[in-house]
Structure 1
């Protein structure tokens, strides 16, 4: 709480000082004060141990044994998210894109609005502050829409993500004892766990904000239906991807300097994105892998080929589109293995065990009947997502397509599935994955 309050006061004060500064040097001073302090807090609490341990390991390779200095402290809740809120605000003030907010309460609400505080989406002052400042009135239909999105988010989290987590954890935590087919299924389960978990949270956040008359930035747009990695990153964690594009990629020169600059800037934003997720070489490798996957489309300048959702206005994709989606999905699963693994060695061993002769053997989870149920749930879930892929969230237009009796039966099934999943969880709580970032 102290860090949140201090960061809020710092950015509020430095923004006002920049706006009222009489010369450019004064504006730069207040700007860099805010940047250095914010990134300093983030660096100390999130990355100090990582750099200290990495330095000690490097020295040991050179023959010097050093005991790394470690900070034993719990990572402050939401620090990566509210730090980026403040940074975007201060940068926009410095670039004179917006005026500094004089009302401290309004600015504090922008930084710490409770639905998005711990796991985003990462908001911009240009989008959220005007909504906070204007008068809002309760709108019944808007509130119902918000509740519907909350319901869908809860389904993603409790029914899909938490159930997938059981077997993803079995596979990754005991990978040395598992055969290739079990590990392959475990990677698929984690792929749907992280999607259901994170996009489910985002749906709950957006729906909750809508109850208060506020529209947050969309954070997911059916990323597993992407036809290439560039499209995937336009649809996955949209608020973070667009943040890095606007505040890192473009300031570095974007795509204006030819292939070398495009390649360099692409690797920088993806490695920084991986590092943002956590102080572990697995996250950095995950970011670098995605940079490699997206590189051909960046060099050939085909990264803007797939802007609209796949099969727009059609019920089914073409064979080409289906092949592209399957290839992109496969690359995504491969990268997620590094994201989930404990370390690089664990990830490499996991992958090598998948590509063994045991890949074609029978999977061996503790409860294969439940595995089958979850696989069926995933298929049904993706079918619903496919039918609603042109909307903000999968069941947004559900109320407009069917009569009330059918809608109520559908809602009853969703709510029942959520409660049954909670009752069958036997107290094994599954934290939201992105709470740790």
Structure 2
């Protein structure tokens, strides 16, 4: 669509190389779940002669390994716990439901950003450069910054092909707020024809508009370890996790009942402690989350938006994958369904 629209608007010259174009639209590393590449960035790379670059390939292999860690250590371990809690939410204690929502937030992040990292890493090995799709979103101070760091290729696509054509902010702040709201509504529809996705989009839209209206949506790229920033980051993460309950639940009523259970529930079951296996998986998941966030905080404090692994980090990452990875519980990537 972006190729067609860019050609129509004369922002892009139509290519006469059919083979390169077909390879671009069927480029398998990122075809199923992104990053969403535009012709202006990826297509010209098919016109150039590529030679194997050892340094570039090693960089790609490191990114691929980090993505694999996110998938098999964090996402797939979280998935079993999330499934057990969400499927029997009416019997779960408030603590169990809270952990279920937190685990799903890290499941979908590990699953989705893990896929993107593996796609980017594999493409680098082949000599292709894909855009960054995630920039440590769970270190965001507000929902506005979160959407500048989460699924960047999609949010920027909506910005350029929906928000700006609707008028962007050229017709005043009130019109801009309406346009923002429309974008988030459409982002809900994009995920599926279910009211749960619509409400998920609306929650983020309302949160985004709050910061948009009061002018507090300035992005601070470097995470600072001061109490105010930590509180803001935790609050934003909890809001995102709250919205993800609608994203994960099969219906709106299930979502509301789940949230009701968090605040007013009387369930006593705790799925994460229901067996020694689940208790071990909970410990592994928390350990994986601690490793993930430690590396992301360290990288972001250096001003980077990509985790850089040295030899020790690679060994630790490899050991974690081998001994903590949930290979027997392997699940398809969540975004394969969208």
Specify the TM-score bucket, using the shorter chain as the normaliser: over 0.9
Out of 327, 333, 336, the position equivalent to 1:432 is: 333
- The unaligned stretches of length 5 or more in structure 2 are none
Alpha-carbon distance between aligned partners in 1 of 2:260 and 2:295, rounded to the nearest angstrom: 34
CA contact (8 A) 1:181 1:358 kept: no
Give the Å deviation of 1:419. Answer: 2.5
Runs of 4+ aligned residues of structure 1 deviating over 6 Å after TM superposition are none
Alpha-carbon distance between aligned partners in 2 of 1:418 and 1:336, rounded to the nearest angstrom: 26
Give the Å deviation of 1:269. Answer: 0.5
2:246 corresponds to which residue?
Answer: 338
Out of 82, 86, 89, the position equivalent to 1:168 is: 82
Give the Å deviation of 1:98. Answer: 1.1
CA contact (8 A) 2:57 2:125 kept: yes
CA contact (8 A) 2:2 2:39 kept: yes
- Please give the residue correspondences for 1:323-334 in structure 2 after superposition, counting only pairs within 5 Å: 323-334=231-242
CA contact (8 A) 2:223 2:297 kept: no
2:285 corresponds to which residue?
Answer: 374
2:321 corresponds to which residue?
Answer: 418
CA contact (8 A) 1:262 1:299 kept: no
CA contact (8 A) 1:226 1:232 kept: yes
Out of 200, 204, 228, the position equivalent to 1:286 is: 200
Q: 2:35 matched to 1:107?
A: no
1:308 corresponds to which residue?
Answer: 221
Give the Å deviation of 1:307. Answer: 4.3
CA contact (8 A) 2:284 2:324 kept: no
Report the secondary structure of 1:388's partner residue. Answer: helix
Alpha-carbon distance between aligned partners in 1 of 2:102 and 2:216, rounded to the nearest angstrom: 28
Give the Å deviation of 1:222. Answer: 0.1
Change in Cα spacing, 1:387 to 1:222, as seen in structure 2 (3 Å) is same
- The unaligned stretches of length 5 or more in structure 1 are 1-86, 312-316, 400-406
Give the Å deviation of 1:260. Answer: 2.4
1:4 corresponds to which residue?
Answer: none
Give the Å deviation of 1:376. Answer: 2.6
2:161 corresponds to which residue?
Answer: 247
Alpha-carbon distance between aligned partners in 1 of 2:259 and 2:29, rounded to the nearest angstrom: 37
Change in Cα spacing, 1:232 to 1:208, as seen in structure 2 (3 Å) is same
CA contact (8 A) 1:116 1:205 kept: yes
Alpha-carbon distance between aligned partners in 2 of 1:435 and 1:181, rounded to the nearest angstrom: 30
CA contact (8 A) 1:153 1:202 kept: yes
1:83 corresponds to which residue?
Answer: none
Alpha-carbon distance between aligned partners in 2 of 1:301 and 1:123, rounded to the nearest angstrom: 31
Q: Between Structure 1 and Structure 2, how many residues are aligned?
A: 332
Change in Cα spacing, 1:379 to 1:421, as seen in structure 2 (3 Å) is closer
- Please give the residue correspondences for 1:10-409 in structure 2 after superposition, counting only pairs within 5 Å: 87-303=1-217, 305-311=218-224, 317-356=225-264, 358=266, 363-365=270-272, 366=274, 367-389=278-300, 390-394=303-307, 396=308, 398-399=309-310, 407=311, 409=312
Alpha-carbon distance between aligned partners in 1 of 2:220 and 2:293, rounded to the nearest angstrom: 21
Give the Å deviation of 1:373. Answer: 3.1
Report the secondary structure of 2:330's partner residue. Answer: coil
Q: Deviations over 1:125-165 (max 9, x none)?
A: 11111111111111101000000000000000000110011
CA contact (8 A) 1:286 1:335 kept: yes
CA contact (8 A) 2:299 2:306 kept: yes
CA contact (8 A) 1:179 1:353 kept: yes
Q: Deviations over 1:61-110 (max 9, x none)?
A: xxxxxxxxxxxxxxxxxxxxxxxxxx101111111111001111111111
Alpha-carbon distance between aligned partners in 2 of 1:223 and 1:120, rounded to the nearest angstrom: 17
CA contact (8 A) 2:91 2:269 kept: no
Alpha-carbon distance between aligned partners in 1 of 2:240 and 2:214, rounded to the nearest angstrom: 21
Give the Å deviation of 1:212. Answer: 1.3
Q: Deviations over 1:389-433 (max 9, x none)?
A: 233422x2x33xxxxxxx1x43233223222345x543x321100
